[in-house]
Amino acid sequence: MREVLAEDAGQRRGIKIHPDEVVVSPGGKPNLFFPTLALIESGDEVIYPNPGFPTYEAMIKVADGVPVAIPLVEENGFSFDLEAFDKLVNERTKLIILNSPSNPTGGVIPAADLEHIASQIERYDCWVMSDELYTRIVYDGLEAPSIATLPEMRERTIIVDGFSKTYAMTGWRLGFGIMPKELAARIDLLLTHSIGSTAHFTQIAGIEAVTGPQEMVNVMVSEYQLRRNVIVDGLNTIPGFTCQKPQGAFYAFPNITGTGMDSTELANLILEKAGVALLPGNPFGGYGEGYLRLSYANSIENIEKGIERIRTVLI
Ligand code: PLP
């Protein structure tokens, strides 16, 4: 499994990966959590995206690190606010977490921003965790570059990837991390003494997924792109909503400040009155307030029905 992943993940990113640098885990999450536990000492600062995947803040706190939220700004296609980043990064920064394409915003960090972030990582001698779970779900011919491809970054980067999104294998619990082999050996130890190992039959399925035909991944990404267009166009017809076109992942993240309601109040109202389940932006961090997160991993028919029902509640 590690040989297959080293070959495939390396070839997709244009970097050379040795199987000893690959850590297989039950889902991507253990490869977020255990490297954080391994690297963070009490009081170390960790910069993480906000709004962002809620696991980041939780795992920083478990490791007794200091969570430092970096705002993702809508005007920038939800990339980092680099000015804010420059003010927050310092000698106490031990780890920087990136997630591109992002959950919940669908934003992709452009290569120029990655170069800027990489120069600060080198200057302050920190680690970077690049959550690339959605790397293959990108639209309009765009690519989501990996910071690991930049000079001097490989030896400081933990790439986290998995099967949940690319192959829709969420329930199989299969993921992997790519990191320097000394760190990989320590993470393997943490995994051995906590979860044991990743189920072998699941790994066999993973090898089949990676080495088999890949057309279905492309077919699915084209389908997601159609759904994205339908959901974004639909959301922009709802009074008080404005929605950018996300460049990746399968979430729409409309700004709902025009409704005059807060995100939790509005999400509850939509659930109760329209029977449509979505998430308020708030649980993704304070900068998520004023937004909702909608998943479009659903049929176009259901998306259209859902939009119509939300509109009926809001007009
Ligand atoms: N990272 C991000 C950004 C995610 O959205 C998710 C799942 O929603 C994960 C990591 C974890 O995925 P898994 O543990 O299923 O591989």
164 lines ligand 1 (CB under 6 A): yes
For 103, the 3-state DSSP assignment is coil
**Interatomic CA distance for residues 286 and 211, integer angstroms:** 41
Q: Does the Cβ of 29 fall within 6 Å of ligand 1?
A: yes
Q: Domain locations in the chain?
A: 2-211, 215-314
- Please tell me the distance from the alpha carbon of residue 249 to that of residue 52, in angstroms, as a whole number: 13
Which residue is it, tokens 């970097």? 15
What number of H helices and E strands is found in the chain? 10, 11
CA-CA distances (angstroms) from residue 17 to 23, 89, 90, 191, 294?
A: 12, 29, 30, 21, 35
Report CA(311)–ligand 1 centroid distance (Å): 30
The rounded Å distance from CA 205 to ligand 1 centre is 19
Q: Is the pLDDT of residue 91 over 90?
A: yes
Higher local confidence (pLDDT), 174 or 80: 174
Residue in 146, 48, 41, 52 with CA at minimum distance from that of residue 97: 48
Task: State the average pLDDT over residues 58-81.
Answer: 94
Whole-number mean pLDDT of the chain? Answer: 97
CATH number belonging to domain 215-314: 3.90.1150.10
Residues 6+ apart with CB under 8 A from 225: 139, 140
Q: Is the minimum distance from the CB of 131 to ligand 1 under 6 angstroms?
A: yes
Ligand 1 in contact with 103 (CB < 6 A)?
A: yes
Atom index in ligand 1 nearest the CA of residue 170 equals 15
Structure tokens at 150: 């930049």
The answer to whether the CB of 13 is under 6 A from ligand 1 is no
Ramachandran region, residue 40 (left: φ > 0; alpha: ψ -120 to 50; beta: rest): beta
Pocket test for ligand 1, best of 165, 172, 202 (most atoms within 8 A of CB): 165
Intra-chain end-to-end CA distance of the chain, in Å: 53
Q: Which band of pLDDT confidence, cut at 50, 70 and 90, is reported for residue 80?
A: confident
226-242 per-position pLDDT tens digit: 999 999 999 999 999 99
- Whether 53 is in the pocket of ligand 1, judged by its Cβ within 6 Å, is yes
**How far, in Å, from the CA of 46 to the mean position of ligand 1?**
19
Centre of ligand 1 to C-alpha 32, Å, is 9
Best residue among 33, 133, 136 to mutate for probing ligand 1's pocket (most ligand atoms within 8 Å of CB) is: 133
Instruction: Provide the b/e sequence for 126-139 (b: ≥16 CB within 10 Å).
Output: bbbbbbbbbbbbbb
Residue 172, ligand 1, Cβ within 6 A: no
Cβ of 170 less than 6 Å from ligand 1: yes
- Tens of pLDDT, residues 137-158: 999 999 999 999 999 999 999 9
Q: What is the pLDDT of residue 79?
A: 85
Ligand 1: nearest atom to the Cα of 131: 1
CA of 28 to the centre of ligand 1 (A): 6
Determine which helix (DSSP H) or strand (DSSP E) holds 231, and give its type and residue range: helix 215-235
Residue 76 has pLDDT above 90, yes or no: no
CB 228 within 8 A of CB 296: yes
The answer on pLDDT for 256 being more than 90 is yes
Distance in Å, CA 29 to ligand 1 centroid: 6
- Per-residue pLDDT tens for 203-227? 999 999 999 999 999 999 999 999 9
Identify which of 59, 103, 135, 202 to mutate to test ligand 1's pocket (most ligand atoms within 8 A of the CB).
103
2-211 is a CATH 3.40.640.10 domain: yes
pLDDT for residue 276 is more than 90: yes
Helix, strand, or coil (residue 98): strand
Q: Rounded CA gap, 12 and 304, in Å?
A: 35
Instruction: Report the separation in Å between the CA atom of 58 and the middle of ligand 1, taken as the mean of its atom positions.
Output: 14
